[in-house]
Amino acid sequence: MKKIRVGIVGGAGYTAGELLRILVFHPFVEIVFVHSKSNAGKFIYEVHDDLLGDTDLLFSSEYHTDIDVVFLCVSHGEAKNIVDIFKHTKIIDLSHDHRLKYPSHQFVYGLPELQKDVIRQAQYIANPGCFATAIQLALLPLAEKQLLKGNIQAFCTTGSTGAGQSLSETSHFSWRQNNLSVYKAFTHQHLGEIRQSVHQLQNTYEEEIQIIPQRGAFTRGIMACLTMNLKLAFEEIQNIYTHKYQDEPFVWISERNIHLKQVINTNKCLLYIEKHENNLLITSIIDNLLKGASGQAVQNMNLMFGLDETTGLKLKSTAF
């Protein structure tokens, strides 16, 4: 197969670093350029030092359009200003800019477990947010069966890489270590895309989805704990989830309680279901930089180019 010619814009951040870690070893990819205004001319391994010995690519100050696909790893609000430069190629946008539908919208929402066939035919992909991915994968089987009722609470704890590389008080080691705090309660920016996907499957659901995000004292991973009221028997709920994800290579239903180290460094989402009388708890865990960002972006690229979606993504967790 002819190599897929890839470009990356915004090459110095965490998501670009993880993209590079995957794509350098992807059997069907040729990385043509990695753009970074602040690092142009430097070797990529000078910024992403985990790639020392794996690539001699330099950061570019120029965009190249003679490519098959470009990954936009830029800040929210910046991607929409770059799209026209690459309008004749395939685009995978990892920012928030194109996740919500609006008139003349040409981007397809890139959650493979929601609309894989549409992604295969797409020219432009809006890669989902990390919280949105963890929460949606926990909710979609019930939404598909029209079973969501009442308010849903999602208590989510994320690692410091979820805040990006820009330094702030709450990402500083001495503040974050041995600490825990809530931020953006009820107002997190991923709520819109979650409701959009739920309505795609269950358009009658009008209750609240309440997200309470927390900053965890670790670097990567998201644990989302969703609670709701549901009278359905536990065995029937378990069967709904098992059937929904039986052919999905990255989503697994665990019969035992789960922990973050099971998914770190992988493109997996693990789900664990508990029932206490009519109270349902669904725990969902992902690596925010992989299934929540760069791994899912590569999964989308694989689908867009007719590859097995697991290509380059068969990664083992760092469980110890």
pLDDT tens by residue, 146-179: 999 999 999 999 998 875 555 566 666 777 788 9
**Model confidence at 192: pLDDT above 60:** yes
Tell me the HSE value of 94 on the side-chain side, using a 13 A CA sphere: 35
Burial of 219 from C-beta contacts in 10 A (0-12 / 13-18 / 19+): middle
Reported in sequence order, the residue ranges of 219-286 that DSSP labels E, i.e. its strands, are: 222-229, 251-254, 269-276, 279-286
Reported in sequence order, the residue ranges of 36-102 that DSSP labels E, i.e. its strands, are: 59-60, 69-72, 90-93
Domains with residue ranges and CATH for the chain: 4-127+293-304 (3.40.50.720), 130-286 (3.30.360.10)
Classify 114 as helix, strand or coil.
Answer: helix
Of the two residues 101 and 255, the one the predictor is more confident about is 255
pLDDT at res. 187 = 87
What digits encode the pLDDT tens for the residues 249-271? 999 999 999 999 999 999 999 99
pLDDT at res. 249 = 98
For residues 302 and 311, the answer to whether their CB atoms sit within 8 Å is: yes
| Residue 103 confidence class, pLDDT cut points 50, 70, 90 | low
pLDDT at res. 196 = 95
pLDDT at res. 188 = 86
For the chain, what is the mean pLDDT? Answer: 94
Residues carrying an active site annotation: 130
Question: In this predicted structure, which of 100-104, 286-290, 308-312 has the lowest mean pLDDT?
Answer: 100-104
Question: In this predicted structure, which of 121-135, 167-181, 190-204 has the lowest mean pLDDT?
Answer: 167-181
